[in-house]
């Protein structure tokens, strides 16, 4: 599903554009060209070159020009064949290819055949259409702050950073902003549009309209024009504000600014007002962003494994000096492997979310005293759907109850409700439905109270964008407050809301991973997310010169994007090639991120598969002069001991010293994950450090300027840890100490005289290893050393306690699962993979929705416990049992998380499988295909497991360990191999369902 991880939630709306794969467009294709046949430059000039960024971009432009020439040639061939093919776009920077479309599905079928026959065409991909999935996240519980003193005299001081979030202190953004602003850095926002007229972006009158306007480029790929104004959504405007908004000089009530508050922005709209997008629009947006000289791209969106984009692009963009930040996803409540694409691409920055330190809410000041949890107050502490510059509503509004009380049906006491503030409980129906009913009745404002017991407190409301941006203000209060007021109103007490003040409260989950943030690791056990950033309850701009609190990985991603822009601003004159910039940025942010320790047990950190490298530390990433290779460790699975070499280089001008340590993280059980929540276990590996030769254990690391030092980290697992398949992880930590104390500390720990210890401690690649003990460093004064500041460093590690190959792909069956579906010719062939029952069903009943999946061919449903790399069907003669051939499943295997179902896509491009297969005795790319003849056949689905990056050598020795076979318990009987009736002439065969095994 394309989780366009639209992380959207008003006044703490949960957002991340989640996209659901809804249809294959049979009239549109993305075509990839063979660069060796069409271009004067090799693909290596873009994807492998370490030349300077400008040379790589020039090569990419040559590929784009060659793609345009090839597209024109193929368009002429199509015209000669009677096919009216339109070239929608050509690409060279994001891939080498084109996007094309025709008018009808029949023309699409003919065009696909023409394209595949062309020698310059390397691959033909269908255009996938996606529907933005309405955010399914429920509001997160927040500690109510409503035991407030009566009638606060004034709003909180608007100059207090905590009022607007507080996270900038936790992430060290405030320190970074003291020196850098992102000025001169161009950042692309690929989203649902941007209200460039908002004062936060310089009150533009159009794209690049001059003056203070900072929206310097953009294009609307849904309407094919440059008016990217955010007309029907607020997601893109909110995202852009977090990256680079600045309202400190433009508003009385919200003196707020984003992370890189002087960055230039590009607005690329790829979502229509109907909530649809397609992968060709995304490619076109990325292509244009590179041409517009964007150096960072924000993608607060993503598909799940259920509907992959089908194309990778971040590596190619990185070669051209473009960094890509992508939302990890908002499916964290489902546990492991719930990330999306393109966050899963190795060269993207996959961003997880943490909850903001403080949230900004409202204090509804009453003219009547109420008693809440035994305390007297006249304040209802609330969260608000949007924070307006103007008064939220006229003062002195009466508070009333609706009839019916639930608000779920048409309001019958309209006269009493009109112009009033209406108090209603959540539950029974959606808040959106209640709001619509109350607005129709004329309510001036709506206050929801939680239907769950205190301390549950809704930080967000599930209010749909369709309710309108000019809808009355809405609030949420806790259940105790709501019931206290309801009791008085029901008894006939008249209560008036005198005024509304802004109010801050501390989040109970402050600075810890958000419950909705998707988990990793990636399918090959790489670290994912890359790191975490604040996304739970961030204030930012929305259309109409307004502001709102949203939450989701869609908010964490632009926070990280802004951080990358600050980093680029600081390093503008130091960066080498594009690839070097990517590696430098990843190393800087991963190794300086702070492990996020459990709130209730600081001995352990949150798992690396949940939080990645930890909370980003922006100032540290900018100022750190110690590079670490590798920046994180994905260890071999199922081992008792792993030895890894870590290499440190001091690129600064002063010596540094660190105390070596280890912060273990909680382990995560993978057993029964399909049916139950993963269990967090407080068991972990142990770690020690040694010299690179292993001759001596180390406790202190001392590095001279310009020196490179290599040491070993030894990670050991216990029998208890290896007793069950769990993900274990942790952080190798380096705590800075004064260089003159390094020898003393090491001597204390080792019982060795200080000077000799310092001379013997390290293995280095420097030819002057003895320079680490220069007397002036040991004898430097405390005053001088106190001026040396190096940030703490950590190197994350992760692995599986048992062999990854032994982890089953399928969940143990405990409940019924949906039937598999096979679409062939004019009918749907339904077969259960478990009991073999089959039935025929007319396909018309399956395709009434124009956006339903009409991918055709074999579609099986299985409960997966882990991602699958690829799959194929083995075909056997049902009578003799002989293997006659196989069919590859095209494209990545869909994956909906460990609680989802795997549904295989079509076997071949086109509507239906024509019965073709690769014979069992054939091999190689040029192998001939055969077609099923008369007879009865059975199938075995073979699933190829992913190989962990730490297990690749072992996998070469035992490839069969990475295959898992599943019997398809139906039979296919072919009664007519070459039907010639009507539209079945080219379908290949007619299936007859046969039940049983």
Catalytic residues: 191, 235, 554
> Which residue shows structure tokens 């150096």?
295
3-state DSSP helix/strand/coil % of the chain, to nearest 5: 25, 35, 45
Helices (H) and strands (E) in the chain, counts: 22, 48
- Closest residue by Cα to residue 22 from 366, 306, 299: 306
CA distance 495 to 472: 20
Most distant CA atoms of the chain, gap in Å? 95
Question: Tokens representing 330?
Answer: 């908002």
- Closest residue by Cα to residue 690 from 636, 763, 628, 747: 763
DSSP secondary structure letter of residue 43: T
Residues 362-391 as b/e (b if ≥16 CB within 10 A, e otherwise) read bbbbbeeebebeeeebbbbbbbbbbbbeee
CA distance 441 to 435: 10
- Closest residue by Cα to residue 964 from 828, 827, 864: 864
Phi-psi region of 427 (alpha: psi -120 to 50; beta: other; left: phi over 0): left
DSSP string spanning 657-671? EEEEEEEEB-EEE-T
Residues paired with residue 302 on neighbouring β-strands, in sequence order: 18
Name the packing angle between helices 553-570 and 578-592 (round to 10°): 120
Strands (E), 279-356: 296-299, 301-303, 323-327, 349-355
CA distance 788 to 782: 10
3-state secondary structure string across 684-743: CCEEEEEECCCCCEECEEEECCCCEEEEEEEEECCHHHHCCCEEEEEEEEEEEECHHHHH
Whole-angstrom CA distances from 367 to 396, 410, 499 are: 9, 30, 9
CA distance 683 to 664: 8
SS3 173: helix
Contact 350, 323 (CB under 8 A): no
> Which residue shows structure tokens 């670490």?
628
- Closest residue by Cα to residue 244 from 228, 254, 257: 257
CA distance 553 to 537: 10
CA distance 378 to 400: 16
Question: Tokens representing 544?
Answer: 């109409």
Cβ-based neighbours of 686, under 8 Å, separated by 6 or more: 662, 715, 716, 718
CA distance 378 to 193: 41
Is residue 506 classed exposed, middle or buried when 0-12, 13-18 and 19+ CB atoms within 10 A define those classes?
Answer: middle
Question: Tokens representing 789?
Answer: 């500041």
Contact 703, 650 (CB under 8 A): yes
Cβ-based neighbours of 533, under 8 Å, separated by 6 or more: 171, 351, 352, 353, 354, 556, 557, 559, 560, 563, 615, 616
Contact 701, 655 (CB under 8 A): no
CA distance 565 to 263: 7
Order of all β-strands in the sheet with 857-859: 838-842, 827-831, 820-824, 857-859
């Amino acid at each position: 599903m394309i989780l366009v991880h639209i992380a959207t939630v008003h006044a703490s709306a949960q957002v991340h554009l989640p996209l659901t794969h809804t249809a294959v467009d049979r009239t549109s294709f993305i075509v990839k060209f063979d660069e060796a046949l069409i271009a004067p430059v090799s693909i290596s000039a873009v994807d492998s070159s370490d030349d300077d960024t400008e040379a790589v971009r020039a090569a990419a432009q040559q590929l784009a020009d060659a793609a345009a020439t090839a597209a024109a040639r193929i368009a002429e061939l199509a015209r000669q064949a009677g096919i009216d093919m339109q070239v929608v776009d050509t690409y060279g920077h994001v891939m080498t290819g084109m996007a094309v479309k025709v008018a009808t599905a029949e023309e699409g079928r003919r065009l696909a055949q023409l394209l595949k026959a062309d020698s310059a065409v390397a691959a033909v991909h269908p255009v996938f259409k996606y529907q933005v999935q309405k955010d399914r996240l429920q509001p997160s519980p927040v500690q109510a702050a409503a035991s407030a003193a009566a009638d606060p005299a004034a709003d909180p001081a608007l100059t207090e950073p905590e009022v607007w979030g507080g996270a900038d202190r936790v992430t060290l953004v405030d320190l970074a902003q003291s020196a850098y602003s992102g000025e001169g850095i161009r950042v692309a926002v690929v989203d649902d549009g941007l209200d460039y007229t908002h004062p936060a972006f310089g009150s533009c009158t159009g794209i690049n309209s001059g003056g203070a306007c900072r929206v310097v480029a953009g294009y609307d790929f849904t309407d094919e024009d440059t008016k990217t104004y955010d007309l029907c959504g607020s997601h893109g405007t909110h995202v852009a504000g977090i990256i680079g908004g600045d309202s400190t000089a433009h508003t009385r009530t919200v003196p707020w600014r984003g992370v890189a508050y002087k960055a230039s922005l590009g607005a690329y709209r790829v979502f229509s007002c109907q909530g649809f997008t397609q992968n060709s629009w995304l490619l076109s947006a990325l292509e244009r962003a590179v041409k517009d000289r964007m150096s960072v791209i924000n993608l607060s969106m993503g598909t799940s494994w259920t509907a992959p984009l089908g194309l990778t692009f971040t590596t190619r963009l990185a070669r051209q000096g473009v960094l890509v930040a992508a939302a990890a996803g908002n499916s964290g409540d489902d546990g492991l492997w719930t990330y999306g694409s393109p966050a899963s691409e190795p060269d993207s920055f996959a961003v997880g979310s943490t909850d903001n330190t403080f949230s900004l809410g409202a204090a509804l000041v009453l003219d009547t005293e109420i008693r809440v949890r035994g305390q007297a107050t006249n304040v209802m502490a609330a969260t608000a759907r949007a924070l307006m510059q103007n008064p939220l509503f006229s003062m002195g509004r009466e508070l009333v109850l609706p009839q019916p009380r639930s608000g779920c049906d048409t309001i019958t006491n309209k006269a009493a409700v009109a112009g009033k503030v209406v108090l209603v409980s959540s539950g029974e129906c959606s808040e959106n439905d209640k709001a619509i009913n109350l607005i129709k009745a004329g309510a001036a404002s709506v206050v929801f109270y939680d239907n769950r017991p205190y301390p549950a407190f809704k930080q967000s409301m599930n209010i749909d964008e369709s309710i309108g941006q000019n809808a009355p203000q809405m609030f949420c209060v806790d259940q105790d407050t709501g019931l206290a007021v309801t009791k008085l109103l029901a008894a006939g007490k008249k209560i008036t809301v005198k005024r509304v003040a802004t109010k801050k409260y501390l989040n109970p989950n402050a600075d810890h991973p958000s419950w909705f943030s998707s988990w990793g690791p990636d399918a090959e056990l790489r670290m994912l997310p890359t790191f975490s950033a604040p996304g739970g309850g961030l204030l930012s701009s929305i259309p109409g010169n307004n502001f709102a609190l949203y939450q989701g990985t869609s908010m964490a991603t632009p926070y990280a994007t802004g951080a990358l822009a600050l980093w680029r601003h600081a390093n503008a004159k130091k960066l080498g090639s594009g690839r070097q910039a990517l590696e430098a940025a990843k190393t800087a942010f991963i190794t300086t991120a702070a492990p996020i320790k459990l709130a209730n047990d600081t001995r352990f950190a949150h798992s690396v598969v949940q939080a990645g490298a930890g909370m980003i530390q922006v100032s540290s990433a900018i100022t750190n002069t110690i590079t670490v290779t590798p920046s994180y460790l994905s260890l071999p699975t199922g081992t008792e001991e792993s030895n890894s070499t870590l290499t440190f280089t001091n690129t600064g001008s002063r010596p540094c010293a660190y105390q070596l340590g280890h912060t273990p993280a909680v382990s995560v059980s993978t057993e029964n994950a399909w049916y139950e929540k993963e269990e967090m276990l407080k068991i972990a590996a142990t770690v020690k450090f040694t010299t690179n030769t292993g001759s001596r254990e180390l406790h202190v690391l001392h590095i001279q300027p310009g020196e490179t030092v290599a040491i070993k980290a030894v990670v050991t697992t216990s029998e208890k840890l290896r007793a069950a398949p769990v993900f274990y992880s942790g952080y190798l930590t380096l705590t800075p100490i004064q260089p003159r104390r390094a020898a003393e500390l090491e001597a204390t720990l080792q019982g060795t005289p200080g000077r000799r210890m310092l001379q013997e401690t390290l293995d280095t690649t420097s030819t002057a290893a003895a320079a680490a003990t220069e007397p002036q460093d040991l004898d430097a004064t405390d005053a001088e050393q106190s001026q040396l500041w190096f940030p703490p460093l950590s190197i994350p590690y992760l692995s599986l306690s048992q062999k990854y190959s032994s982890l089953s792909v399928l969940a143990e069956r405990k409940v019924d699962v949906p039937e598999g579906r096979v679409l062939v010719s004019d009918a749907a062939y339904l077969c259960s993979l478990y009991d073999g029952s089959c039935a025929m069903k007319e396909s018309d009943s399956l395709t009434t929705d124009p956006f339903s999946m009409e991918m055709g061919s074999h579609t099986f449903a299985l409960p997966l416990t882990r991602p699958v790399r690829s799959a194929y069907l083995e075909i056997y003669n049902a009578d003799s049992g002989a293997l006659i051939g196989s069919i590859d499943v095209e494209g990545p295997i869909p994956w909906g998380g460990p609680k989802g179902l795997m549904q295989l896509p079509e076997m071949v491009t086109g509507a239906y499988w024509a019965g073709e297969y690769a014979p069992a005795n054939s091999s190689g790319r040029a192998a001939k295909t055969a077609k099923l003849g008369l007879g009865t056949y059975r199938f075995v689905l073979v699933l190829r497991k992913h190989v962990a990056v730490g297990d690749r050598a072992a996998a070469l020795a035992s490839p069969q360990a990475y295959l898992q076979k599943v019997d398809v318990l139906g039979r296919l009987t072919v009664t007519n191999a070459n039907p010639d009736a009507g539209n079945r002439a080219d379908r290949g065969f007619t299936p007859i369902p046969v039940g049983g095994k």
